[in-house]
Amino acid sequence: MTDTMRAAMVPEAGADFEVVEKPVPDPAPDEVRVAVDACGVCHSDVFVKEGTFPGVSYPRTPGHEVVGHVDAVGDDVSMWSEGDRVGAGWHGGHCHSCEACRRGNFLQCENAEITGLTFDGGYAEYATVPAEAVAAVPEDLDAVDAAPLLCAGVTTYNALRNSDASAGDVVAVVGVGGLGHLGVQYAHAAGFETVAISRSPEKRDLALDLGADHFVDASERDPAEALQELGGAKVVLSTAPSADAIESVVGGIGTDGDVVVVGIPGEPVPVDIQHLVGTAGSVSGWGSGDARDSQDTLEFSDLRDITPVVERFSLDDVDEAYDRMVSNEARFRAVLDIAGDD
Ligand SMILES: [Zn+2]
Ligand SMILES: [Zn+2]
């Protein structure tokens, strides 16, 4: 291998990407170096690009949907070997010693690292990642398909499997986009009676193809009423980052139902508390998962042939990939195909 690599970096908050040639990083004793095959472009990369997250230092290479193979191993790492096919997601490592870590809740680590935010991520030919933040990637999954599963996939899969829904329960997914088109597939594969809710009637056929049993066109009818006709939802997974969309489904939950929000709106959400009291229901939030959660997501996706709908870009086309993602035009996840650049 050569001593230098290509990387797309943000020189300072709000600046344009620069694709530069820079030294290949060496892994610290507790890290592995990943030769990156593909990296997804996620809406949370806006935090890095625009500097809207506290504590990002620049220049910084974003990217927290990283798939590749281990190409060098730090001296203290025993769980990974050169050649292992691996990925890294948003959760970029934990301290093992804070209160949350001592209770085994690594996602809530007070000193958690974030891939592509507190350290350089996967918009590059190589990235170094803490060993505990690495997930094994099944051989059969294409790197470009696997990348979005490390963020959009694990977020929806983990939110559903940590909910109270059981096979046969009515589970609705609000929004058929980057997160929602995966949420519908996971809900179907988990055996739920799956309802896709969208304000875009043209998403109907896709939603049904992805495994939805019902499609509710929320531009036409009240989604809460539609869910009540089905007996009330046990879980509504809300992926649409819209306060109106969240407010409009709270009335659709049945007894002990839960609206689980994974798409974060920019403003507060008014909620019908009377309905929550009447159903003993709740509105809650969920964010991603740790490396083992990511690996579970990848393994289940492989088992059930669940893949994202993606648009591929080369590293040189990072601006176009980012613009399509940020303008919500990408169908449905933009991915940098870095190995394909050769
Ligand atoms: Zn993400
Ligand atoms: Zn910790």
Task: For strands 193-198 and 214-217, give the pairing.
Answer: parallel
- Look at phi and psi of residue 205 and say left if phi exceeds 0, alpha if psi is from -120 to 50, else beta: alpha
Q: Is the pLDDT of residue 342 over 60?
A: no
Q: Which residues surround ligand 1, an ion (CB under 5 A)?
A: 42, 44, 151
Tell me, yes or no, whether 23 and 172 share the same domain. Answer: no
Tell me, yes or no, whether 174 and 192 share the same domain. Answer: yes
Tell me, yes or no, whether 194 and 255 share the same domain. Answer: yes
Tell me, yes or no, whether 158 and 240 share the same domain. Answer: yes
How far, in Å, CA of 224 to CA of 206, rounded?
22
Q: Cα(78) to centroid of ligand 2, in Å?
A: 21
Going by C-beta distance under 8 Å and a sequence separation of 6 or more, which residues neighbour residue 202? none
Question: Would you give the end-to-end CA distance of the chain in angstroms?
Answer: 13
Question: Which tokens sit at 336?
Answer: 């940098």
pLDDT value of residue 2: 77
Express as a percent the part of the chain with pLDDT over 70: 99
Tell me, yes or no, whether 90 and 220 share the same domain. Answer: no
Q: Cα(274) to centroid of ligand 1, in Å?
A: 34
Total number of domains in the chain:
2
Q: Cα(93) to centroid of ligand 1, in Å?
A: 15
Contact 9, 18 (CB under 8 A): yes
Tell me, yes or no, whether 47 and 14 share the same domain. Answer: yes
pLDDT value of residue 340: 84
Tell me, yes or no, whether 215 and 277 share the same domain. Answer: yes
DSSP 269-283: ----HHHHHHHT-EE
Model confidence over 239-272: pLDDT tens digits? 999 999 999 999 999 999 999 999 999 899 999 9
Q: How many CA atoms lie within 13 A of 323 on its CB side?
A: 6
Q: Cα(92) to centroid of ligand 2, in Å?
A: 12
Model confidence over 18-41: pLDDT tens digits? 999 999 999 999 999 999 999 999
Tell me, yes or no, whether 184 and 242 share the same domain. Answer: yes
- Domain extent at residue 112: 4-150+289-341
Tell me, yes or no, whether 323 and 251 share the same domain. Answer: no
Mean pLDDT score, 325-334: 93
Query: Quick one: 54 exposed, middle or buried, by C-beta within 10 A (0-12, 13-18, 19+)?
Result: exposed
Model confidence over 155-200: pLDDT tens digits? 999 999 999 999 999 999 999 999 999 999 999 999 999 999 999 9
Q: Which of 285, 309, 327 is the C-terminal boundary of a domain?
A: 285
Contact 45, 322 (CB under 8 A): yes
